[in-house]
Amino acid sequence: MINIKYQTDKGKIIEGNSIELLSGKMKKELKGKVNLIITSPPFPLNNKKQYGNEKGEEYLKWFIDMAPIFSDLLTEDGSLVIEIGNAWEPERPVQSLLHLECLFGLVKHPKANLRLIQEFICYNPSKLPSPAQWVTVNRLRTVDSYTHVWWIAKNDFPKADNSKVLRPYSKSMQSLLKKQKYNAGKRPSEHNISETGFLKDNGGSIAHNFFELEQVDDNREVRLPHSVLSFSNTSSNDYYLKMCREKNIKPHPARMSGGLVNFFIEFLTDEDDLILDPFSGSNTTGYCAEKLNRNWMSFEVKEDYIEQACIRFSDPLLKSPLKKMKV
């Protein structure tokens, strides 16, 4: 029996081991129907965390074994987006290659036919100093302040439209568009700049594959797509975090950035597409999908985190609240 704990008009939260369910009872139902899988699986950490994580070779096997499962779920033009942090060798100030081995194993799996479309970097200057032993105690290493985001697909041309995730023009570009005039011609780099190539207003500039979740330099303008700026993972105004404080609940310790989720949903899917998160935690993915009018399905093994998802969905900005299902 599939244990659907809550659902809305657009999606559902399922309690249970997603890998077992998606390779078993739910495999036939969802095969070839998921437009986007977006998730942040438990990181390969040296210390066991409350939200659950494997270590070393166990983690590598667990991670790689997901490749054919995810490949079967995706539509032919669907995408898999995974956020993963760095790992360190146990009791050594040496960075592990485990996350890279996971990537290579995933895209080289003989039964999956996956490939890396592009890598993104998510930089968060608010991350606590890590690994603490080698950063704050022995002071041998610098702060590990970013995560990798891998965009993977079944073919070379997955559905994508970067015009839906444009970032604001710089002030100099806005001025150029207003003047309709600039210095054309050949540059020292040997690029030949045409006389009209930069005069069309496309509504913004193409997004970069680097996300700076918080502004590092107040004197420098940060230009992120609106989808990223509209939802900061560390914002004190975040509805979920405010409600957790009011209810004296400890928030999930490894939440995905809502801005990241928004970006890839808008970039890689259309309204009413199906989005799936196999390790949903407090269900940022479902929340973002609901706001952007996508169908969604989230899986979580810990009941405490499923209940935290209810906090997200009590947000008055959502049109369709979570409804508890009868067992």
CB contact set of 9 (below 8 Å; sequence gap of 6+)? 319, 320
pLDDT band at 256 (very low <50, low <70, confident <90, very high): confident
100 SS3 class: helix
Residues linked to residue 150 through DSSP beta bridges, in sequence order: 82, 119
By mean pLDDT, which of 29-33, 52-56, 88-92, 183-187 is the weakest?
52-56
Which amino acid does the sequence have at 59? Y
Among 122, 27, 119, CA closest to 81 = 119
CB contact set of 194 (below 8 Å; sequence gap of 6+)? 184
CATH level 2 (architecture), domain 3-167+207-319:
3-Layer(aba) Sandwich (3.40)
Count CA within 13 A, CB hemisphere, residue 237. Answer: 4
pLDDT band at 45 (very low <50, low <70, confident <90, very high): low
pLDDT single digits (tens) 13-22: 999 999 999 9
Task: For residue 137, count other CB atoms closer than 10 A to its CB.
Answer: 10
267 SS3 class: helix
Which amino acid does the sequence have at 60? L
Residue 156 structure tokens: 């070379």
| C-alpha span between 120 and 114 (Å, rounded) | 17
pLDDT band at 246 (very low <50, low <70, confident <90, very high): confident
For the chain, domain boundaries: 3-167+207-319, 169-203
Beta strand segments in the chain, E: 3-7, 11-15, 34-39, 74-84, 115-123, 146-153, 185-186, 192-193, 210-212, 274-277, 295-300, 323-324
pLDDT band at 225 (very low <50, low <70, confident <90, very high): confident
pLDDT single digits (tens) 63-118: 999 999 999 999 999 999 999 988 888 889 999 999 999 999 999 999 999 999 99
Residue 112 structure tokens: 């999956």
Yes or no: say if 206 and 257 are a contact pair by the CB < 8 Å rule. Answer: no
pLDDT tops 70 at residue 48: no
Yes or no: say if 258 and 282 are a contact pair by the CB < 8 Å rule. Answer: no
Task: For residue 126, count other CB atoms closer than 10 A to its CB.
Answer: 10
Helix H or strand E encompassing 311: helix 303-312
